[in-house]
Homo-oligomer: A and B are copies of this chain.
Amino acid sequence: MPDMTGPKIHPVILCGGAGTRLWPTSRRNQPKQFAMVIDGYSLFQHAIRMVDAEAFAAPVVVTGADQRFRVMEQMGRIERAPGVIIVEPDARNTAPAVLSAALHLHSVDSDALMLVLPSDHRIPDGEGFRAAVAAAADRAAAGDLVTFGIRPVRPETGYGYLELSDPSAMAAGVPQSLVRFVEKPDAIKAQAMVDAGRHLWNAGIFLMSVRAVIAAYGAHAPDILAAVDDAVAEARTEGGFLLLGKRGWLQATSISVDFAIMEKASNLAVMPYNGAWSDLGDWASVWRDGGPDDEGNLLVGDSLAFDCRDSMIRSEVPDQMVVGLDLDQMVVVATNDAVLVAPRTSSQRLSMVVNELRKRERAEADRGRRDHRPWGWYESVAVREGFQVKQIVVSPHQALSLQSHNHRAEHWIILSGNARITIDDGIQDIGAGGYVFIPLGAIHRLENVTDEPVVMVEVQIGNYLGEDDIIRYSDRYARVEAV
């Protein structure tokens, strides 16, 4: 464990993105930081685990309204409590998000240092990274904005670069002065930078005092400071969330912290990081980060490769195997509603595919079959003519809304736990192996009043089985008005 002298650093985890570049694994309702699971933990959980409770203060997580319950559930699973979960009324890129965390922290401790971390990157060597953070703390405490630079291992054209004055500075192990930011280069320029050996990748990781952050916004983005200051002043606390004020927030420009602040500030320093890092920005990057085997293949889930080379085969469906034969530099990803097959070199073109799917009004573009809700999650396991099967998990002490359906009846079978079920005027408790019928039109509610999750199979029958066939009568998560 690196020695962190002084007060604990406050991690600020940016958890607002969704991302289509890892479709079909990531969707709007299955953001990359939660959907991408490596070694049993989501990327978000890896980020939280990296800023361990001994060396760091409880994390500040900045996220959207849709994902706030998911953040809580994912932290709960790894037994970490958030410092606060800041909820953005709307996505506004990173500049307002970072500032909202700085203003909140400042109100608690005006001397605080904050470590800004994306929630969807991957840094395998947590200890090495924590050492780099520790080594940069003094410089940040002194008022500099310290940005972390990753030693480039290939001439990547997808990232911005940070230029240092001196190649030897890259191995120095202490923060260095920044000569300049370099925008995403072309291939020739990228190769030249890698050869010159004094450029680092800009990874969007920062260590700064909250005081310096606020001062920087005051100097370079006063309109954002005014807007976000209003949003924080008007914020209300509700169920463990800090809900930012809408009026101020919607005035804030949607812009990245790099453009708004970093590229304008003069009090910048760069902390070189020599360890492995990946933004898992596309499937090629996931393949590279995953550690391909001797044939260059990365196999995930129930997948098999016969005479394949340099390919990724990824099965996310528990009961569907994926077999590759004679593949060369291909990517195959199977989820339970969509399969993608493409050359690895086409990974960057996936946004085009997702946009095309949207144009064709294909739900698969944005909506995966597992949906996380405030009360737990459900997954549409199979849809066939005349029926749909869902698996539903209700977290302890949670409840679905009181609701009814116009077009479907439902058969509920409890797999584990104990469910409290309301149907019209009756209430009953049903345990594992039990069954309940919800007639068409009946007003019903599923509750879990116990300390264990309720796991249930729901068989819907009817001629229309869409998610929009729901009338909500009352809902502890304030969704009554939602269709």
Q: Which residues of A contact B (CB under 8 A)?
A: 24, 304, 306, 313, 315, 318-327, 330, 332, 334, 336-343, 346, 349-350, 352-353, 356-357, 362, 364, 380-387, 389, 391, 409, 411, 413, 415-416, 433, 435, 437, 455, 457, 459, 461
The answer on a CB contact under 8 Å between B342 and A324 is yes
Report the Cα distance A437→B437, complex, angstroms.
Answer: 12
The answer on a CB contact under 8 Å between B342 and A322 is no
Other than A325-B341, A382-B382, give 18 A-B pairs with Cβ distance below 8 A.
A24-B323, A306-B352, A318-B384, A318-B385, A319-B382, A319-B383, A321-B339, A323-B339, A323-B353, A323-B357, A324-B342, A325-B340, A326-B343, A381-B389, A387-B457, A389-B459, A411-B435, A433-B461
What are the nearest 7 A-B pairs in CB distance? A325-B342, A319-B383, A326-B346, A322-B339, A381-B382, A382-B382, A321-B338
Q: Give, as a whole number of angstroms, the nearest-CB distance from A185 to chain B.
A: 25
* Residues on B with beta carbons closer than 8 Å to the beta carbon of A320: 336-339
Q: Give, as a whole number of angstroms, the nearest-CB distance from A361 to chain B.
A: 13
The answer on a CB contact under 8 Å between A341 and B346 is no
The answer on a CB contact under 8 Å between A349 and B326 is yes
Report the Cα distance A128→B366, complex, angstroms.
Answer: 50
**Copies, count:** 2
* Residues on B with beta carbons closer than 8 Å to the beta carbon of A433: 409, 461
The answer on a CB contact under 8 Å between B411 and A387 is no
Q: Decide: A339 near B349, CB < 8 A? Known: A318-B384, A415-B387, A435-B411.
A: no
Nearest opposing residue in chain B for A318, CB measure = B384
Q: Which of A24, A306, A330, A383 has the most CB of B within 10 A?
A: A306
Q: Decide: A461 near B413, CB < 8 A? Known: A337-B321, A341-B322, A341-B341.
A: yes
The answer on a CB contact under 8 Å between A356 and B411 is no
Q: Give, as a whole number of angstroms, the nearest-CB distance from A295 to chain B.
A: 15
Q: Decide: A382 near B389, CB < 8 A? Known: A346-B325, A413-B461, A459-B457.
A: yes
Q: Give, as a whole number of angstroms, the nearest-CB distance from A393 to chain B.
A: 12
Q: Which of A319, A349, A364 has the most CB of B within 10 A?
A: A319
Nearest opposing residue in chain B for A458, CB measure = B459
Q: Give, as a whole number of angstroms, the nearest-CB distance from A182 to chain B.
A: 30
* Residues on B with beta carbons closer than 8 Å to the beta carbon of A304: 357
* Residues on B with beta carbons closer than 8 Å to the beta carbon of A461: 413, 415, 433, 457
14 A-B pairs within 8 Å (CB atoms) are namely A306-B352, A319-B384, A321-B337, A321-B339, A323-B339, A326-B343, A326-B349, A327-B341, A332-B341, A339-B339, A341-B341, A384-B391, A411-B411, A435-B435
* Residues on B with beta carbons closer than 8 Å to the beta carbon of A327: 341-343
Q: Give, as a whole number of angstroms, the nearest-CB distance from A435 to chain B.
A: 6
Report the Cα distance A319→B306, complex, angstroms.
Answer: 27
* Residues on B with beta carbons closer than 8 Å to the beta carbon of A343: 325-327
Q: Decide: A341 near B337, CB < 8 A? Known: A318-B383, A382-B381, A459-B457.
A: no
The answer on a CB contact under 8 Å between A319 and B340 is no
The answer on a CB contact under 8 Å between A413 and B415 is no
The answer on a CB contact under 8 Å between B319 and A337 is yes
* Residues on B with beta carbons closer than 8 Å to the beta carbon of A384: 318-319, 381, 391
Report the Cα distance A386→B391, complex, angstroms.
Answer: 11
Q: Give, as a whole number of angstroms, the nearest-CB distance from A271 to chain B.
A: 38
Report the Cα distance A187→B349, complex, angstroms.
Answer: 39
Q: Give, as a whole number of angstroms, the nearest-CB distance from A115 to chain B.
A: 37
The answer on a CB contact under 8 Å between B339 and A326 is no
Q: Decide: A341 near B323, CB < 8 A? Known: A389-B382, A461-B415.
A: yes
* Residues on B with beta carbons closer than 8 Å to the beta carbon of A319: 336-337, 380, 382-384
Q: Give, as a whole number of angstroms, the nearest-CB distance from A238 to chain B.
A: 35
Q: Give, as a whole number of angstroms, the nearest-CB distance from A352 to chain B.
A: 7
Report the Cα distance A457→B389, complex, angstroms.
Answer: 9
